[in-house]
Amino acid sequence: MKVLVIAETKQGKVKKGTLELLGAANAWGAEASVLLAGAGVAGEVDTLGRHGASKVYVADDASLGMYVTAPFAALAVEAFKASGADLILFADSELGKDLGPRVAAKLGLPFIPGAVSVAPEAGKVVAKRTSIAGKVMETLEAPLPAIVSLKAGTFEPKEVGGSAASESLSLPQSDLRTIVREVLKETSERVDLGDARIVVAGGRSVRGPEGAKLIEDLADVLGAAVGASRAACDSGYFPHACQVGQTGRTVAPDVYIAIGISGAIQHTAGMTGSKVIVAINTDPDAPIFSIADFGIVADLFTVVPLLTEEFKRLKAGNTVAV
Amino acid sequence: MKILVCLKQVIDVELNVQLRDGRIVEEGLQYAMNAYDESALEAALQLKDKTDCEVVVLSMGPDRVADVLKKALAMGADSAVHLDDPAVTGGDSYATAQAIAAYANGKGFDLVLMGRQAQDTDAAGTGPMVAEILGLPQVTNIVSLEQESDGKFLTRRVGDDGREVVSVDAPAVITVSNDFGEARLPTMKGILGAKKKPLTVVTLADLGLDVSKVGAAGSKTQVVGREKPSGRAAGRKLTGEGPDLAKQLVEYLVNEARVLA
Ligand SMILES: Cc1cc2nc3c(=O)[nH]c(=O)nc-3n(C[C@H](O)[C@H](O)[C@H](O)COP(=O)(O)OP(=O)(O)OC[C@H]3O[C@@H](n4cnc5c(N)ncnc54)[C@H](O)[C@@H]3O)c2cc1C
Ligand SMILES: Nc1ncnc2c1ncn2[C@@H]1O[C@H](COP(=O)(O)O)[C@@H](O)[C@H]1O
């Protein structure tokens, strides 16, 4: 069994989602190769090797600094051919959603998007995924070779201590039909939403910049990423890149703290994979409580600042927890 | 300018979904225009508000999909096409893309606008596949769209690291996020006017597309089972005084769930 992982990077570093894909290959005992495309990324071959890649196809060039479909699709095809993979794995990120189906159509291969469990068998892959905003779990089958994208948190990254051989891919011909003019810097220097171990998310009821600040302060003391509901993003309290849910990102942190979020299915579709869910809401009947491990029925404006203080004290070593 | 907007009729996801023998029970379901496609249509109509532009809407499916086409005409689309063929049902994104591409091919569309995903499949696969089959550039998950003086389209899309400003040459396939903004409502005048607009029914034979390319036969993936997800159980729910609640939560995360190292 041979697996090709399509890597994603941010500021030259491989994202956690990519290491999770290697974790999958590792769990199946498969031989893993990786396509590592970007600008200033070649230094990550070691990291990939340590997480179980035996071969890394590298395309490191300034022209690949921003993701655009055409060159990445061409590189994925080249890496697929060179690796002889049975299965190509993407993260179910915005990049994976843009590139996975394009590459599938290019190669004429089956595409299973957003899988939450995958088992390669002889000659085929069987995967589970949700549809209808998380209301139905489907089991899909496809013959190999196939392409599957995995939701965040489906597999754990694991250091296995190997090392990878690297091979440079030649750069694809440029296709100037699509040009990324700029990436708007809206997200802060906080940890990436997809990589975060803790996510603190705010809803419509933060009501304005002061409320949003309470969410950000709590996130900062926890070293967490900030998430948000669609209503909160639409109201301009948080950038759209923070949105978690069916339209937004899927996250699977250790802790997800939903603050003033009702728990609409379109929101929960993006966070039910979290290990621990905490909800803070004034309405004891809010649907979010039905999936929360720990719920607090309280006004966020009272309880969030207290929580921030509590965590500050904890951090200062002055443990209040008994 | 000529724009094709692909509209899927989806089941209302807010309603209860029942399963029987691994299939969704059709009885009692209600249908609506896919929310993402409504945004795609709104994007097309906004271009039409500004420039001379013909908006054609396409939907594939049984008789009932005429409802979304009529709604689109009432909202302002110029003409509608219903790809009505029993063979198209049950297709995955790949099979769906074959049919849409077969319709769009050679008709001189400057833009093919689609939803970034269908609310029922949550697949987000069809747009990029249509783009590949037609050999066109793609921009996915856009939240704004305008035409520039040189004919290129300027979009903003939500990518993994924030919003990106992306320009694309026509013709192109663009998929639209429902964060594009609320779609307009059909007006009374629009509803009356819609009755005079053309709604054409086409079949696979009209498109010269073999039945083996679409529906379940043309799909590369097969759904072999459906079940209700096991879901998460509710844990504890506390009420009380703020300071005490805050302490209890910290205690839970640190000492019980042990998720804060
Ligand atoms: C196709 C589609 C895709 C969508 N995609 C997404 C998505 O990706 N992500 C997403 O989030 N949504 C998405 N939505 C929208 C979703 O359906 C909900 O409308 C949205 O999640 C609601 O956001 P909210 O919980 O912040 O607001 P509301 O539903 O208005 O909830 C606010 C909550 O705050 C509580 N509250 C009020 N005051 C306080 C206070 N002082 N302290 C504490 N709690 C308080 C209230 O009790 C309530 O539960 C989508 C919808 C559609 C149709
Ligand atoms: N039956 C259909 N008729 C028209 N357009 C469709 C149909 N199915 C899918 N589409 C288009 O493809 C998009 C993505 O669908 P999906 O790949 O299923 O998420 C939708 O938002 C529609 O624009």
Q: How far apart are CA A7 and CA A89, in angstroms?
A: 9
Q: Could you tell me which residues come within 8 angstroms of residue A235 by beta carbon, excluding any fewer than 6 positions away?
A: A204
Least confident of A76-90, A176-190, B117-131, B228-242: A176-190
Question: In Å, how far is B83's CA from the nearest CA of chain A?
Answer: 22
| pLDDT surpassing 90 at residue A197 | yes
Q: How far apart are CA B72 and CA A253, in angstroms?
A: 40
pLDDT of residue A280: 98
How many beta carbons lie within 10 A of that of residue A161, not counting itself?
A: 9
- Which strands, in side-by-side order, build the sheet including B236-238? A225-228, A198-202, A255-259, A276-281, A294-297, B236-238
Q: Strand A53-60 and strand A165-168: pairing?
A: parallel
Token couple for A131: 């549809």
Name the helix (H) or strand (E) containing B98: helix B93-104
Which residue has tokens 């091919």?
Answer: B105
Phi/psi for B39 (5° steps) reads -65, -40
Q: What is the pLDDT of residue A322?
A: 39
| C-alpha dihedral, B60 to B64 to B69 to B72, nearest 10° | -130
By C-alpha distance, the chain A residue nearest B116 is A247
Ligand 1 binding residues, C-beta < 6 A:
A 203-205, 229-232, 243-248, 260-262, 264, 266-267, 270, 280-283, 286, 299-301; B 35, 119, 178
Question: For A35-51, what is the HEC assignment?
Answer: EEEECCCHHHHHHHHHC
How far apart CA A132 and CA B18 sit, in angstroms, is 12
> Which residues 230-259 of B are in CB contact (within 8 Å) with A?
230-232, 234-240, 242-243, 245-247, 249-255, 257, 259
Could you tell me how many CB contacts below 8 A there are between chain A and chain B?
A: 285
Tell me what pLDDT residue A317 has. Answer: 80
How many A from CA of A306 to the centre of ligand 2?
47
- State the average pLDDT over residues B215-240: 95
| Chain B residues close to A303, C-beta within 8 Å | 242, 245-246
Instruction: Please write the tens of the pLDDT for every residue from B43-92.
Output: 999 999 999 999 999 999 999 999 999 999 999 999 999 999 999 988 99
Please tell me the distance in Å from B199's CA to the nearest CA on chain A.
29
Q: How many CB atoms neighbour CB B15 within 10 A?
A: 12
Per-residue confidence (pLDDT) for residue B156, from 0 to 100:
97
Q: Establish whether residue B95 lines the binding site of ligand 2, counting it when its CB lies within 6 angstroms of any ligand atom.
A: no
- H/E stretch holding A22 reads helix A16-27
Phi–psi pair at B253, nearest 5 degrees: -70, -40
B115: left (phi over 0), alpha (psi -120 to 50) or beta: beta
Whether residue A319 is predicted with pLDDT greater than 60 in this model: the reply is: no
For residue A298, the Cα-to-chain-centroid distance in whole angstroms is 30
pLDDT tops 90 at residue A106? yes
How confident is the prediction for chain B on average, in pLDDT? 96
The structure tokens 């090797």 sit at: A49
Residues composing chain B: 261
A142 min Cα distance to partner chain B (Å): 5
Identify the H or E element spanning A209. Answer: helix A209-222
The percentage of chain A sitting over the pLDDT mark of 90, rounded to a whole number, equals: 92
| Residue recorded with tokens 């979290």 | A274
Indicate which atom in ligand 2 lies nearest the CA of residue B61. 1
Residue A318 confidence (pLDDT): 58
Q: pLDDT-based confidence at B8, cuts 50/70/90?
A: very high
Largest CA distance in chain A: 62
Instruction: From residue B229, give the alpha-carbon distance in Å to each of A75, A112, A210, A294, B112.
Output: 36, 18, 38, 21, 35
pLDDT at A321: 46
Helix, strand or coil, per DSSP, at residue A202:
strand
Alpha-carbon gap, residue B158 to A30, rounded angstroms: 34
User: Cα separation of B81 and B9, whole Å?
Assistant: 13
Q: Which chain A residues are within 8 Å of B172, Cβ to Cβ?
A: 177-178
CA B246 to chain centre: 42
**Tokens read off for A276:** 């621990």
Q: How far is Cα A223 from Cα A184, in angstroms, rounded to an integer?
A: 23
DSSP A249: B
The residue whose two tokens read 């409802």 is B67
Q: Kindly give the pairing relationship between strand A146-150 and strand A87-91.
A: parallel
Identify the pLDDT of residue B230.
Answer: 87
The CA distance from B68 to B38, in Å, is: 10
- What are A21-78's pLDDT values in tens digits? 999 999 999 999 999 999 999 999 999 999 999 999 999 999 999 999 999 999 999 9
Transcribe A93-131 into DSSP letters: SHHHHHHHHHHHHHHT--EEEEEEEEEEETTEEEEEEEE
C-alpha–C-alpha distance, residues A269 and A249, integer Å: 9
Selecting from B24, B97, B166 the residue whose C-beta is nearest the C-beta of A105 gives: B97
Determine the distance from the C-alpha atom of residue A221 to the mean position of all C-alpha atoms in its chain, rounded to a whole number. 22
Model confidence band, residue A186 (pLDDT cutoffs 50, 70, 90): confident
A185-204: buried (b, 16+ CB within 10 Å) or exposed (e) per residue? eebeebbbbbbbbbbbbbbb
Query: How far, in whole angstroms, is CA B96 from its chain's centroid?
Result: 12
SS3 B175: strand
Query: For residue A242, what is the nearest residue in chain B, using CA coordinates?
Result: B162
Q: Could you identify the residue written with the tokens 């990589």?
A: A195
Distance CA A256, CA A251 (A): 9
Rounded to whole angstroms, the Cα distance separating A304 from A289 reads: 17
CB A62 within 8 A of CB A39: yes
pLDDT of residue B161: 87
Query: In this structure, how many other beta carbons lie within 10 angstroms of the beta carbon of residue A123?
Result: 8
| Ligand 2 contacts CB of residue B59 (under 6 A) | yes
Atom of ligand 2 at shortest range from CA of B34: 21
Residue with tokens 């998007």, as numbered in its chain: A113
What is the C-alpha to C-alpha distance for residues B10 and B20, in angstroms, rounded to an integer? 19
> What mean pLDDT do residues A196-208 have?
97
Closest CA to A69 of B174, B96, B254, B111: B174
Task: Please write the tens of the pLDDT for every residue from B218-229.
Answer: 999 999 999 999
The token pair that represents A197 in the structure block: 């171990």
**pLDDT for residue A216:** 97
DSSP category for residue B220: S
Per-residue pLDDT, A39: 97
**Do strands A294-297 and B2-6 pair parallel, antiparallel, or not at all (unpaired)?**
unpaired
Would strands B111-115 and B138-147 be described as parallel, antiparallel, or unpaired?
unpaired
How far lies B68's CA from each of A54, B32, B89, in Å?
51, 7, 17
Q: For residue B102, which amino acid is it?
A: A
Angle of helix A300-315 relative to helix A209-222, nearest 10 degrees, comes to 20
pLDDT at A320 over 60: no
Whether residue B215 has its Cβ less than 6 Å from ligand 2: no
